[in-house]
Every structure is written in C-alpha cells, then in structure tokens.
Amino acid sequence: MLIDVDGAVQLLMDGEFVAVPTETVYGLAAIATNPAAIAKIFEIKNRPADNPLICHFHSIEQIQQYVTSIPPNTLKLLHHFSPGPVSFMLDIPQDSPLKFATCGSSQVIARIPGHPLFLSIIKKTMQPVAAPSANTSGKVSPTTAEMVRNDLGEKINGIVDGGASSVGLESSILDARSSNEIFILRPGAIGEKEIESVLPGLKVILQQDGGDRHIPGTKYAHYAPNTPILSIENTSEIIEHPNAAVFLTLEAMQAIPRSTLHAYTLKGIHLVNIGSTTDLNTMAKNFYQIIASVDQLNVSRAFFLVPDFGISSLGKALQNRCHKIIAA
C-alpha cells in the first residue's frame, strides 16, 4: 500500500516498519532504538542475525547525540558529502540505544540520506531510523517502489513512493575515524577521488571483501536475481548459450554484426543492454532494475559480459556489484 510521509511517520512511531525511498536504494525502515521493530526487519528480510543495520539521521547534530565523538576527518567528509550517498563508521558508547540495530557492535554505520521524503520522515520522528535495503536477503536491492512490491509485497504495511532512486547503488561505507588513513568498506558513488578532493594527501584504502576490515554483509552472497548469472569474457561465447539472457553494454551490443544478431534471435538468446560506459551515472541508476528484470524473461540462465568500468568511484562500485551478482 502506498502511503505518504505522515502515514510513514505514524507507522514508525507505532513500532512498525515501512519502505522508504533513498537516493541510493529503497530502504526498509524502523525506529532504530525500538528492539521489537528492529526484530521485525530481520524477520521480513530473512536477514542473518549478525548482520547489523545502517542507522539514518537527519543532521550531524543528531548523529552527535548517539556516538562517542565524530573524529575530525569524518566530520569534514560529513560536512562535504551529507546529506548524500555515503555512510560512516563511528564508535557508540556501551549500552547505546542503537545496540539492537548494530547487533551489539560498538560501532554504528551512520548516514544522512539525501532523499527529501526520507529526510523529512526522520525529522518528524525525531529518532534515528534503521534501514537496510528493502529486499529479501540475497535478492537484488530495489530502486523503485514497484521493485519493493515485487519482492516483499504482502509483507509490507506501507511503501512511500519517491520515484526511482537517483544514484541506484548502495551508499559508500567509509571508516574515516583515523587521522592518517581512510578505509572504503563498501565502494559507492563517493570514493577515492571525492575523498581526496576534501582531504588531499590522505591515504585511502579500498577494502577487499573478506579483508581485515570487512563489514559483516560482505560475507553473504548478495544482489542475485532468481535466474543465475554467470560471467563470460567475450562476445564470441554468446552463441554457445541458447535460450539464455546476456547482459552487455551498449558499446558491446553495437559491435555485433546484424547477421549475428539474427542468429541469436533464432537461438532464443536475449541481449539485455545495461547502458553505455560513457554514462556511468545512468548505468548505475538503472542497474538493479535491469538485473532484476531478467526474471521476467523466462530464461533458465543469464550471462554477463563484464565491461571495463574504468577507475572512477562509480566505475569501481559497478565493478564490485557485478561481482556480487555473478554466481560463483
């Protein structure tokens, strides 16, 4: 059921959860300090109990009320990029009211989201709001209200429709607590280049999944549609896979001769255009919607011709998400 901001605030204050739009992906929101509401989120998502939830705030001042301190580098980045598609690891005091959302961890991942509807919901509740992506654990993150409905449907009391998420990939997660190095725990739209523009000369380290400083979520398989997706290296392999879908860039698609395209059609091969590498913003925005759409094609398998996304922050984030949707 579609609800408005006030309807969402009411449900949240009653201890319920609602789906909300953010500029990254849609979130499944509950008041972060309410253990019963947090428990419902874990249940609905079928989320492993040791995988903590990002907490959303409306301002730096509100974050300050819940953390032991905001270290100088984090503060600079917060001032520069928030509200926006970036989250920060911060220390919380012992026995913090956020402990249910953080699964008992002594750190919280805090974010001030940029979407005006979600920001206004947080302001009106006057509480921190926990919100993981609004998908069943292991499924593709939703970037539209319709994707939320397709995945969680009946289980949801209310969805606030804020249009398609403008960024389309989950927030970058940064650990900027140290004064001499910054860790990117999850790559996103804000990466090395953007951090360096604010904190020049500082060491920025992109963590590999499963590395020393990984976040719990990276140990689980992520983002896969029901149709298994495998990787292919070259367009010449496409013809070997009848009755399958193949994800590829506009450039790769345009390079295929017309006669070959005809041969694909005869073999029931669906080419799925993920967009152009010359416009990564649009590619990221549409990415999850295109990936999820493969389940409607009636194919048993799909293949991904992974392009070189380049070295921009968004390129690296897309590369990272590709690896997460491709079956091992």
In the complex, the residues that contact ligand TXA under the rule CB under 6 A are 22, 24-25, 27, 51-54, 87, 102, 105, 107-109, 111, 113, 131-133, 170-171, 173, 215-218
Q: Which does residue 320 touch among ligand TXA, Mg ion, none (CB within 5 to 8 A, set by kind)?
A: none
Distance of closest approach, residue 256 Cβ to Mg ion, in angstroms: 34
Contact present, 273 and 304 (Cβ < 8 Å):
no
Hey, is 88 helix, strand or coil? strand
- Comparing CB distances to ligand TXA, the nearer of 132 and 158 is 132
Phi-psi group of 224: left, alpha or beta (phi > 0 → left; psi -120 to 50 → alpha; rest → beta): beta
Question: How many Cβ atoms are within 10 Å of 197's Cβ, its own excluded?
Answer: 9
> What does 22 interact with, of ligand TXA, Mg ion, none (CB < 5 to 8 A by kind)?
ligand TXA
Quick one: 27 or 315, whose CB is closer to ligand TXA? 27
Residue-level length of the chain? 328
By CB under 5 A, name the one of 24, 125, 133, 143 that touches Mg ion.
133
Of the two residues 127 and 133, which places its CB atom closer to Mg ion in the complex? 133
Taking the complex as a whole, the smallest distance from the CB of residue 132 to Mg ion amounts, in Å, to: 5
Report what 131 binds from Mg ion, ligand TXA, none; CB cut-off 5-8 Å by kind.
ligand TXA
Nearer to Mg ion, 143 or 249 (CB): 143
CB of 133 to Mg ion, least distance (A): 3
Which of 87, 94, 85 lies closest to 67 in space, CA to CA? 94
Question: Shortest CA distance to 55 belongs to which of 83, 89, 25?
Answer: 89
Tell me which stretch binds Mg ion (CB under 5 A): 50-58, 118-126, 127-135, 256-264. 127-135
**Distance (Å, whole) CA 28 – CA 25:** 10
Judged by beta carbon, residue 133 or residue 207, the one nearer Mg ion is 133
Q: Where are the beta strands (DSSP E) in 112-243?
A: 129-130, 172-175, 181-186, 203-206, 229-232
Tell me the closest approach of the beta carbon of residue 31 to Mg ion, in angstroms: 19
Q: Which residues contact 112 (CB under 8 A, 6 or more apart)?
A: 56, 57, 58, 59, 60, 63, 78, 82, 83, 84, 119
**Is residue 274 within 8 Å of residue 283, measured between CB atoms?**
yes
d(CA 222, CA 70): 30
Kindly report the backbone phi and psi dihedral angles of residue 82, in degrees, each rounded to the nearest multiple of 5, phi listed first: -110, 145
Q: Which is nearer to Mg ion, 133 or 227 (CB)?
A: 133
Q: Which does 24 bind (CB under 5 to 8 A by kind): Mg ion, ligand TXA, none?
A: ligand TXA
The interface partner of residue 302, options being Mg ion, ligand TXA, none and the CB cut-off 5 to 8 Å by kind, is: none
Q: Where on the chain is the footprint of Mg ion (CB under 5 A)? A: 133
